[in-house]
Amino acid sequence: MTLGVEEEFLVVDAESGELVPRSQDLVPEAKDELGDEVSPELNLCQIEVGTPVCSDLADLRGHLRRLRRDLATAAGRLNLGIAATGTHPFTSWRHQQIDLRSERYSRMDDVYQIVARQQVICGCHVHVGIDEPDLAVAVMNRVRPWLSVLLALSANSPFWQGLDTGYGSYRLQVWQRWPTSGMPPDLASRAQFDQLVTDLEAIDAIEDATFLYWYARPSLRYPTLEFRICDVCLHVDDTMALAGLVRALAWTECRQAVAERPLGQPAVEVMAAATWRAGRYGIDELLASPSSRSLEPAAQVVSELLDHTREALEHHGDWDMVREWIARILRDGNGATRQRAAFARRGHIRDVIDRIARETVPA
């Protein structure tokens, strides 16, 4: 099963670490090295890179490292930096600008107003190759109980406008303000998915399926299932490990779907509540276990996911690499833990952006 990753970054001033609305300068500068692998985002303080289609994690890791390094090099020529964080630690969204040169983003600004302007957040999107449209929808249905665990591992947005929000992923709280965000519904087929899109378009709720901000969704651009639940990760190897885990989860549920095994999932309200808890506490507290349907230590729930996907990880040759790096996240903390540790040393919020800048770009 192939995979690819899109990472969103914040554009910051190289000296102060403040957010700056300068992606219109950085994108053309970065295209010299990255070509179509780099693109603008909704806000001018955001930028996105995307890997090629990959078959193994070593190849993916190499592309992720290259993209971060080359983007940082281009940014440095403009006295800018990039920051792999779901939210900026202290700069307010009020001082940023939506890219109104884009027809799509201009319409979003007009329709969604303050909700769009507050979306100064960065995620990590993992695409896994599933050629059959009906199968992609079936896998989307089946991965839902485990999405909260992926979020907990990736949580990397504890600060918002200079305050510790108390959340591991405050990005999730901002993202959920979109009217079509959240847990994907249980759909019987691609035809039912397409009909839902048509019904939403008919009442001007969305313009097309790319406006569905579900935690996972069939991609319109590629023959993939796109996982959108994760914060952008602080360290590139966090991204690599999570991408491997996502592919393993998709592969596992793909086999379950082909075998037509019963779904047997918690209610959607329970899965949504589990996701809220993962965003609130990350891996620092108890998580909702899809297996026992009760609260368990985070390390135990993560271990359940590894056990659930072990055959897939071994099939792709990823077991040792993913297990080792997930163990590091559990030991050293996710991005939110490491951001808070940077702040705790002196109580200076700018120390947070300094650590983010150091960890964003691979040595």
97 CB burial (10 A radius; 0-12, 13-18, 19+): middle
Read off the pTM.
Answer: 0.97
What are the tokens at 33? 């090295």
Which residue ranges make up each domain of the chain? Answer: 3-351
Give the Cα separation of 337 and 343 in Å (integer).
Answer: 10
- Taking only the tens place, the pLDDT of each residue in 180-229 is 999 999 999 999 999 999 999 999 999 999 999 999 999 988 999 999 99
- Going 220 to 199 to 265 to 230, the CA torsion angle's sign is positive
pLDDT one digit per residue (tens) for the chain, 363 residues: 999 999 999 999 999 999 999 999 999 999 999 999 999 999 999 999 999 999 999 999 999 999 999 999 999 999 999 999 999 999 999 999 999 999 999 999 999 999 999 999 999 999 999 999 999 999 999 999 999 999 999 999 999 999 999 999 999 999 999 999 999 999 999 999 999 999 999 999 999 999 999 999 999 889 999 999 999 999 999 999 999 999 999 999 999 999 999 888 999 999 999 999 999 999 999 999 999 999 999 999 999 999 999 999 999 999 999 999 999 999 999 999 999 999 999 999 999 999 999 999 998
Spell out the SS3 assignment of the chain: CCEEEEEEEEEEECCCCCECCCHHHHHHHHHHHHHHHEEECCECCEEEEECCCECCHHHHHHHHHHHHHHHHHHHHHCCEEEECCCCCCCCCHHHCCECCCCHHHHHHHHHHCHHHHCCCCCEEEEEEECCCHHHHHHHHHHHHHHHHHHHHHHCCECEECCEECCCCEHHHHHHCCCCCEECCCCCCCHHHHHHHHHHHHHCCCCCCHHHCEECEEECCCCCEEEEEEEECCCCHHHHHHHHHHHHHHHHHHHHHHHCCCCCCCCCHHHHHHHHHHHHHHCCCCEEECCCCCCEEEHHHHHHHHHHHHHHHHHHCCCHHHHHHHHHHHHHHCCHHHHHHHHHHHHCCHHHHHHHHHHHHCCC
- Going 254 to 256 to 261 to 265, the CA torsion angle's sign is negative
Architecture per CATH, domain 3-351, reads as 2-Layer Sandwich (3.30)
